Chains A and B, each alone.
Chain A
Amino acid sequence: MSERPAERRITLERIESYAPERSVRIEELGEHLGLRRGDLGVFRKFYGLDRLRYDPQLPLLDLLRPAARAALAALPDDGHVEYLAYAHVTQAVAPADTDMAQVVRDDLGLTGAEAFGLSHQACVSSLGAIEILGNLLRAEGREGAHALMVTGEQAYSPIVQLVPNTAIMADAAASCLLTLDGEGDIVRSFTTRTLGEYARWLELTPEQSTEYGEQYAARIAEVIHQALEEAGLTFEDVDLVIPHNVNKLAWRQTVKELGIDQDKVFLDNVPVYSHTFAADVFLNYTTLRDTGRLTDGAHYLLVSVGLGATFGAMVITHRTPGGSR
């Protein structure tokens, strides 16, 4: 992106998140997920999990609506939403005859917006949607055009909720209103790498799983370095990595691979929310912003990994309304 200075920059005008109030300890899910006491001990001690939000009674639309509405509230009077992307991980989030992107669009009253879903980058889909929406705005956007990224889903079945030896998925949602050359956070670069040999998600052979695990940290480091290079920055320029909440062990290994301090990666939400599909990085962003931990003008790395397997890193520069830059 930085090599094409004439290109209009994607700006993130408002990011919001939502998680159901119902919070459970991972041990409460042991029987449901078929996890033994020792397995849960590993998740707690080594993976750093504790509680997560889980509310099977909550309709999906009610999960998605609060963050979407809150992000949409930042739409200026002379702006309009041209595109809505619903980024999800599980392909079948709703019955086959229900297009959740269109359901959300109609619920928000965005009748003029083109709405579509995307999921092929799994937990990187939300970051990928930002780039796709930005490109659509560049290609076709009219004056005042904005786009809304909506993400979030529910761990509605044990098959969806448990990623063996890796993560326990949880409920949450997030939304991002974006435009081009606006006042919000600037997207400086976005890099992904997809390793198609792991396309079978949870049905990898034991050898493939081992091989994937062994290179996980190195592949994350690779996309991070590439995203930094494209942004014309180095790690010293970055205030904080805002990661996905897969587990603390994976990030400890990545921290070693990167040769950085562990406190440079925000992991406080791992024991609070666990891995909320593609919503993690945006959920973590709102936690940091709402506790005053994002600095005006500072650079941040949003990083996620999706089964399948896609590694993604985005460099943004935070801007607070009325900031000094």
Chain B
Amino acid sequence: MNRQDVLITIEKALSEVLERPITGLTEDTALFDDLRLDSSSVLGLLMTVEEATGIAVDPDDLDIDHLRTMRSFADYVEAALRREEGTS
């Protein structure tokens, strides 16, 4: 999964969680401020991305900074994907 695929996967997950179509986001889009994601919908987002990518989110390692922007979240997902590849 390349960077573009990751971004598209996140967009799809956001559309599902927020129950409205989300497209055309940039790496600078702020998830909380620009999309009005809140603390509960962000957990739904993580669950959906987990399901779509096969990554395993460790609740103990999760930091709110990972979820601030599309860039930080995509970085987090990519790092998790690399870990999954390394362990499988």
Contacts and interface: CB of A to CB of B under 8 A. Distances in A.
B60 A38 contact: no
Interface string A174-193: 00000000000000000000
Interface string B45-70: 01110000000010110000000000
> Which range holds the interface residue count of chain B?
10 to 19
> Which range holds the interface residue count of chain A?
10 to 19
Interface string A33-50: 000001101100110100
Interface string A229-271: 0000000000000000000110010000000001000000000
Nearest to B41: A165
Contact of A42 (B38, B44, B60): B44
Contact of A210 (B38, B47, B57): B38
A262 B46 CA distance: 22
Contact of A38 (B38, B44, B59): B44
Contacts, number: 29
B88 interface: no
B39 A38 contact: no
A213 interface: yes
B37 to A, nearest CB: 11
Nearest to A262: B60
A293 to B, nearest CB: 22
Given A165-B40, A210-B38, A38 B48 contact: yes
Interface residues of B: mostly helix, strand, loop or mixed? Answer: loop
Interface string A212-225: 01000000000000
Contacts of A262: 60
A42 B46 CA distance: 9
A41 B45 CA distance: 11
Interface string A187-205: 0000000000000000000
B39 A210 contact: yes
Interface string B14-55: 000000000000000000000000111001101110000000
With most chain A CB atoms within 10 A of its CB, the pick from B44, B46, B48 is: B44
A42 B47 CA distance: 7
A41 B46 CA distance: 10
A41 B40 contact: no
Contacts of B40: 42, 164-165
A213 B47 CA distance: 20
Contact of B43 (A42, A164, A210): A42
A213 B39 CA distance: 8
Given A249-B59, A252-B59, A45 B47 contact: yes
A41 B47 contact: yes
B18 to A, nearest CB: 13
Interface of A: 38-39, 41-42, 45-46, 48, 164-165, 206, 210, 213, 248-249, 252, 262
Given A38-B48, A45-B59, 11 more contacts: A39-B44, A41-B47, A42-B40, A48-B59, A165-B40, A206-B38, A210-B39, A213-B39, A249-B43, A252-B59, A262-B60
Interface of B: 38-40, 43-44, 46-48, 57, 59-60
12 contacts: A38-B44, A38-B48, A42-B43, A42-B44, A45-B57, A46-B59, A165-B39, A165-B40, A206-B38, A210-B38, A248-B59, A249-B59
6 smallest CB-CB distances across A and B, nearest first, come from: A165-B40, A42-B43, A41-B47, A46-B43, A46-B59, A213-B39
